[in-house]
A and B are shown apart, each in its own frame.
Chain A
Amino acid sequence: MEIFALFDCIISPACLLSQATGGLKIGMLLFLVASGLTLVFGVLGVINFAHGALYMLGAYFSWQVMTLTGHFGLSVILGSLGVGIFGLLFERTLISRIYNAELLVQILLCYSVVLILDDLVMIIWGDEFLSSVGVPEVFQVPPLFIFDAIIPPFHLAIIGMSFIVGIILWFIMTKTRFGRLVRAAAVNPKMLEALGININFIRAGVFMLGSFLAGLGGALAASVGSVVSGMGNSIIIESFIVTVIGGMGSISGAFLASLIIGMARSFGAVAMPLFTDGLMFLIMVLVLVIRPQGLMGNKKK
C-alpha cells in the first residue's frame, strides 16, 4: 500500500482534481446502471442478476447503431431504448413468472439469461473485442487544463449527462403519477390492485425503465471502452455493491454509494493499485456488518 502516493496526490491540486473527476465519472456511470437495479429490486423485489447483461446489450446495440449511422446521439438513444424494449419482453416472458419465487430461483433464472445473452452476442457480433464507438466529434478537442489537471471534456459531459438522468429519475419518482404509483406498488401492491390499477403494468414499466438505465450505462460505456461479451459481469457486481451500500431499493442511496465507490476506485488506484477492487468489497462488508440495511435504506422488520 502506498499511503504516501495518496498523500502526495491529495496535496497536489492537479492530481486531486483529476482523480476526483475520474472518480465522479466512474461513480456517475455506475449510478446509471445501479439505479436501475435498485429500482427493480425496490419495486419488484427481484434481484436482477441479468442487469449486467442488459448493460452489455446496451453497448452492443449502440455500437451497431453507430456503425450503421455514424451518429453518436442516435446510437446512445436507440441503444438504450432498444434495451428498454428488450427488458419489457424479458419481464413479460420470464421475470413475471418468478415474482413470488424463492431467492434461489430468481438468481438462477437471471443467471441463465446472462449465460444465454453472453453467448448470443458472440454468435451475432463475433467473439472479438469490438473497438469503442469513440467520442463524438464535438468532444474531440484538447483536454481542459484546470490547476494543471488534465480533464477530458467528454468525461465532464458524461458526468453532466448522468446528473441530468438522475434528476429526471428523481422527478419521475417523486413528482409524477407514475412515480407515486410505483412507490405505492413497492410498499403495498395489493392496495393498488384494490384501487383498480393494473399492477402488471406498473411492474413492466419499472422493469423497462430499469433496463433502459442499464442500456444507457452500457451505451455510454461503449463510447469510452471496448465492447465484449461478458463485459456485464463486473459491472453487475459493482452495481450490487452500490445497491447494498446505498440501501436496497433506495435511489438516493444508490447515488451516494456510487459516489463513494467512484472515489474509492479513483483514489484507491493511487494508494493501492492492486487492491482497488478489494477496497470496494471491504466497504461492502463493513456496511453489511455495521448497517445491513445500507446507508439510506429503511430497516425492515
Chain B
Amino acid sequence: MNLLKKDNFQRDVFLGLLVWFMLIIFYYILPDPGIHDIIQKVFILGLFAMSLNILIGYLGLIAFGHAAFFASGAYTLGLFLQSDFVLNLAGFSIPVAIVLAVLVSSILATLIGVICIRLKDIYFSFLTLAFQMLIYSIILALVNITGGDQGLMGGFPKPPFLGIDLGKPFDFYAFTIFISIITIVLLRQLIESPFGYGLRMIRDNSERPAALGFNNQKHKLIAFIIAGSIAGLAGSLQALLDVGAYPEWAFWSKSAEPLFMILLGGMHSFLGPLMGALIFEILNDFVTANTRYYGLVLGLVILCFVLGLKKGLLDWLLIKLNRK
C-alpha cells in the first residue's frame, strides 16, 4: 500500500487501472446499455472538458473555440476510415486513424495557437471563436468531402485490431474508457510537472515571468497545442461512437458544452471537469427522458451554479473537506 501514499506518476497509473477494472466489473454487474452509454460519453466529454480546462483553469485563458479541435479529430478519423487506406491497413486502421486525428488536431492547434496566444482576455476569446467558426464554414463549404451540413454520410468500417472489435459494445466501452484514463493520467502528470506550475505562474501574473527570464508565449503555445490534441482525441472517440461526424461539432455552441462542464464540476480541481461531464450527462439523460425542454432546465441549473454556488461541485466539496 506504499504505492498509494506518494503522489506520483506510478500511483496515478495504479489508480487509473484500478478505476478501469472497477468500471469493467461494473459493466457486468449492471448490464444496462443506457448506463454504459452514459459512462463512456462522460469519459469522452470529460476528456474534452479537461483539455479545455488546461487553458481555462490552469492558464487563465478563456478559449471559446475549442470545439474546432474536437471536430477536426472527429472528421479526420471519419474521413480516414472512409478512405481506401483502410483496405491496406485493415487491422491497424483504427489505431492509425486515432493517431492521425490527434496529429491533425495538434497541427491545427499549432497554426491557430501561434496567432491566438498573442492576444489577451476577450480578444483571445473572440479570435478562438472566429477561427472555430471559420473551420465550421469550411466544413460546410467542402460538401464533396465532408458532406456539408448533413455530416459525414454513410458511416465507416471499424475493422477489429489486436482482438478488439469496436463494433461490440463491451469492446468499445472498455477501449474508450482505457484510452481516456491513460490520457487523464498523462494529463495529471503534465499538470503536476514543472511545466504545469509554469502554467499557474502565467495565470497568476503574466508580467513577472519576463522579469524572471521566462518566455510566456512559448509556454502558452505548447499548452494550447496539447489542449487541442486532447480535444482531437475526444472528437475521434466521439466519431467512433456515433460512426459519423457532424458540422455542429464545430459550431460555437459545442464550445459552450465543455464550459458548462467546467462550471458544473469546478475548474480548480483536476478532476472537476470530469465530474462536470458526469453531472452534464446525467442531467441530459434524466431531463430528456422527462421533458422536451432540456435547455430550460440546463439553463436554470447553470444559473444556480453561477449565482448560487459560485464554483463547481468538486471545487466546493474539496473546500468543505479541507476545512474540516
Nearest-Cβ distance from residue B26 to partner chain A, whole angstroms: 32
**In the complex, A123 Cα to B297 Cα: how many Å?**
13
A240-B129, A281-B133 are known contacts. Are A109 and B306 too (CB-CB below 8 A)? yes
Selected contact of B125 from candidates A103, A111, A278, CB within 8 Å: A103
| Residue B293, interface by CB 8 Å | yes
- B252's nearest neighbour on chain A, judged by CB, is A237
A103-B122, A277-B137 are known contacts. Are A113 and B130 too (CB-CB below 8 A)? no
Nearest-Cβ distance from residue B64 to partner chain A, whole angstroms: 8
| Residue A292, interface by CB 8 Å | yes
Nearest-Cβ distance from residue A296 to partner chain B, whole angstroms: 15
A97-B307, A244-B126, A274-B141 are known contacts. Are A289 and B115 too (CB-CB below 8 A)? yes
| Residue A118, interface by CB 8 Å | yes
- CB pair A285–B134 under 8 Å, yes or no, is yes
- CB pair A109–B293 under 8 Å, yes or no, is no
| Residue B209, interface by CB 8 Å | no
Selected contact of B300 from candidates A103, A116, A122, CB within 8 Å: A116
| Residue A12, interface by CB 8 Å | no
Total chain B interface residues with beta-carbon distance under 8 A:
41
| Residue A248, interface by CB 8 Å | yes
**In the complex, A284 Cα to B33 Cα: how many Å?**
45
A109-B306, A282-B134 are known contacts. Are A119 and B259 too (CB-CB below 8 A)? no
| Residue A288, interface by CB 8 Å | yes
Q: Which residues of A contact B129 (CB under 8 A)?
A: 237, 240
A116-B295, A237-B252, A284-B130 are known contacts. Are A109 and B303 too (CB-CB below 8 A)? yes
A108-B263, A108-B306, A281-B134 are known contacts. Are A119 and B299 too (CB-CB below 8 A)? yes
Contacting A at CB under 8 A, from B128-156, are 129-131, 133-134, 136-138, 140-141, 143, 148
Selected contact of A278 from candidates B64, B141, B143, CB within 8 Å: B141
A107-B259, A112-B300, A112-B306 are known contacts. Are A285 and B131 too (CB-CB below 8 A)? yes
| Residue A104, interface by CB 8 Å | yes
| Residue B62, interface by CB 8 Å | yes
**In the complex, A115 Cα to B297 Cα: how many Å?**
9
**In the complex, A77 Cα to B92 Cα: how many Å?**
64
Contacting A at CB under 8 A, from B267-317, are 292-296, 298-300, 302-303, 306-307
- CB pair B295–A118 under 8 Å, yes or no, is yes
A278-B137, A281-B133, A289-B115 are known contacts. Are A105 and B295 too (CB-CB below 8 A)? no
Q: Which residues of A contact B138 (CB under 8 A)?
A: 275, 278
Nearest-Cβ distance from residue B265 to partner chain A, whole angstroms: 13
| Residue B37, interface by CB 8 Å | no
| Residue A144, interface by CB 8 Å | no
- CB pair B296–A119 under 8 Å, yes or no, is yes
| Residue A47, interface by CB 8 Å | yes
Q: Which residues of B contact A115 (CB under 8 A)?
A: 295-296, 298-299, 302
| Residue A89, interface by CB 8 Å | no
- CB pair A275–B122 under 8 Å, yes or no, is no
- CB pair B122–A248 under 8 Å, yes or no, is yes
Residues of A at under 8 Å CB distance from B?
47, 94, 97-98, 103-105, 107-109, 111-116, 118-120, 122-123, 233, 237, 240-241, 244, 248, 272, 274-275, 277-278, 281-282, 284-285, 288-289, 292
Residues of B at under 8 Å CB distance from A?
56, 62, 64, 115, 119, 121-123, 125-127, 129-131, 133-134, 136-138, 140-141, 143, 148, 252-253, 256, 259-260, 263, 292-296, 298-300, 302-303, 306-307
What are 11 of the A-B contact pairs (CB < 8 Å)? A104-B56, A112-B300, A115-B299, A119-B295, A233-B253, A237-B133, A272-B141, A281-B133, A281-B134, A285-B130, A289-B115
Known: A281-B130, A289-B115. 18 other contacts (CB 8 A): A94-B303, A103-B122, A104-B259, A109-B307, A113-B303, A114-B299, A119-B293, A119-B295, A119-B299, A122-B292, A123-B293, A233-B253, A244-B126, A275-B138, A284-B130, A285-B115, A285-B134, A288-B123
